[in-house]
Structure 1
Amino acid sequence: MPDDWLAANRANWDGRVPVHVASEFYDVDGFVAGGEPLRDFELAEVGDVKGKSLLHLQCHFGQDTLSWARHGATVTGLDFSRPAVEAATGLAGRIGADTARFVVSDVYDAVSALDGRRFDIVYTGLGALCWLPDLTRWARTAAALVAPGGFLYLAEFHPFADVLAEDGRTVEYDYFHNEATVWDDPSTYTDGELAPTAPAVTVEWQHGLGEVVSALVAAGLRIEFLHEHDFTVFARFPVLEHHGVFRFPEGRPRVPLMYSLRASKPA
């Protein structure tokens, strides 16, 4: 594992913040006007959050976090990028989410950064786990942040999709690959590229579904459900068709592209 993985990833995400805030992909003005970035299945599976405390780990610049606030939760967002937290705080001000709180911290240090506070709901959204080398430590941290009787909710891209070739038609990569992958790429997933001065190097890890579930169970959480979804939220492969979400064409074998789970802590 590269010794500088955390510094490299933080610097890269610091550089992504202004690009993402200005992007059509995130459509900040549309969000301020009332747009809903949370997916329908997330809203249904998390359920009513009114009056509940919710912590969003790896929250980026806070759109999903603040959406939960709009649905009635008292929210805290945590991210290791200070520019992201500053942007999230500014966005909270724009929509009048006066009780929303954002904290700068690496996810592994979240318990101390939040002074041992516990939450009714700990939420982790799409594209978060690939930035973490140690899921056992992540699960222990997340479990420590869940209040008794509360739950962790995770929505993620399914690791099976990572074995498919870029055309989405054949199996090309190793599902059980567990070494760090280092990328040197100035592009980002929104409609733009990083500034020339922004660091382009990132370090990522692939985590199988069994690894995720086993880590959470070992941390003392009880899996309530694990749902695998045959759709995704972006054009991961050129063969996918867009009908509100992205799916393989009708008539061809389906594979899981996303998953979601809910894991509770005994009261």
Structure 2
Amino acid sequence: MNVSTASARVPEGWREVNRAMWDERVPVHVAGSFYDLDGFRTRRDDLRDFEKAEVGDVTGKSLLHLQCHIGTDTLSWIHHGAARVVGLDFSAPAVEAARALAADLGHGPERAAFVTGDVYDAAETVPEPSYDIVYTGLGALCWLPDIRRWAETAASLVKPGGFLYLAEFHPFTEALDDATGTRIVRDYFSRGAQVWDEPGTYADQDAVTVNNRSVEWQHTLGDVVSALAAAGLRIEFLHEHDVSLFPRFDNFEVRDGYHRFPEDHPRIPLIYSLKAAKS
């Protein structure tokens, strides 16, 4: 059972708590069926259809993936034609797993580089000063307390004429009941730290784990868009999608490869995506 508390302050040691949680789960993710790394070595693509369509042709472009975890999404962009990808994550075991996967696929560090570092310090950590595309995938922003600092850092890494692409779970879902998603039971505008104590992982709920505490933050859609605009990026689109990658609500069913509400259930946004360009 999830246990959470909300606090207006940023808990001391939050980064270390989260890193310990993620470090422990990397071997579970590498070995498990959720990421299916053996299958990935064959299919070579874990990106969602809407991501590929919205990002467009990446042939010959450089791409930076912030909070890349074990690198499957990062490496997928190479297989769609990116000239060079760089993945950054604060978990050293995750970065080592990503490097090993890249090597298995025949990509050396000149084509696919993975570095360990905090996302807020990315400008001082990644090998190049800027990239054609800065990409952030699903489930990343909730681990960051300061969304404006994130936006400023991400924007600083976009080349002139390039863009940031973000796909993220929609914050509205966090306000709804977990059973049916039909009742508002939590405060959408809550910005305090949420401290969770939960064993296992989304990739294997039965996994035996020790480091089960984590600290997360909720960022409204307005907060994210406003932060990117304030950082000097121009929002080209904001799209909302009625699909998810995991059974967020108890009544979800799988159709067309996505988790969805039943067909007779009112649709709500479950994921959002946006593109923000630099002049």
Report TM bin, short chain: over 0.9
Residue from 183, 195, 204 that aligns with 1:182 = 195
Tell me, yes or no, if the aligned pair for 2:86 and 2:126 is still in contact at 8 Å.
Answer: no
Other-structure match for 1:172: 185
Other-structure match for 1:77: 87
Other-structure match for 1:25: 34
Tell me, yes or no, if the aligned pair for 1:69 and 1:97 is still in contact at 8 Å.
Answer: no
Identity of aligned residues (%): 62
Post-superposition offset of 1:246:
2.0
Other-structure match for 2:77: 68
**Which residue identity does 1:149 align to in structure 2?**
G
Residue from 122, 127, 133 that aligns with 2:134 = 122
Residue from 107, 118, 139 that aligns with 1:97 = 107
Q: Secondary structure at the match of 1:48?
A: coil
Other-structure match for 1:55: 64
Residue from 243, 258, 266 that aligns with 2:271 = 258
Moved more, 49-58 or 91-100: 91-100
Other-structure match for 2:4: none
Q: Are residue 150 (structure 1) and residue 162 (structure 2) matched?
A: yes
Q: Distance in 1 between matches of 2:34 and 2:114?
A: 22
**Which residue identity does 1:186 align to in structure 2?**
P
Q: Are residue 16 (structure 1) and residue 25 (structure 2) matched?
A: yes
Residue from 251, 257, 266 that aligns with 1:239 = 251
Q: Distance in 1 between matches of 2:265 and 2:23?
A: 40
Normalised to the residue count of structure 1, the TM-score between the two structures is: 0.96
Tell me, yes or no, if the aligned pair for 1:108 and 1:137 is still in contact at 8 Å.
Answer: yes
**Structure 2 unaligned spans of 5+:** 1-9
Runs of 4+ in 1 over 3 A off after TM superposition: 192-196
Other-structure match for 2:7: none
Normalised to the residue count of structure 2, the TM-score between the two structures is: 0.92
Q: Are residue 211 (structure 1) and residue 223 (structure 2) matched?
A: yes
Q: C-alpha deviations, 1:192-221, integer Å up to 9, x for none?
A: 55554x411100000000000000000000
Tell me, yes or no, if the aligned pair for 2:44 and 2:79 is still in contact at 8 Å.
Answer: no
Q: C-alpha deviations, 1:72-113, integer Å up to 9, x for none?
A: 111000000000000000000011122200010000000011
Post-superposition offset of 1:249:
2.1
Other-structure match for 1:37: 46
Q: Distance in 2 between matches of 1:174 and 1:181?
A: 12
Q: Secondary structure at the match of 1:138?
A: helix
Q: Are residue 108 (structure 1) and residue 120 (structure 2) matched?
A: yes
Q: How many residues are matched?
A: 265
Post-superposition offset of 1:149:
0.3
Q: Distance in 2 between matches of 1:238 and 1:11?
A: 29
**Which residue identity does 1:49 align to in structure 2?**
V
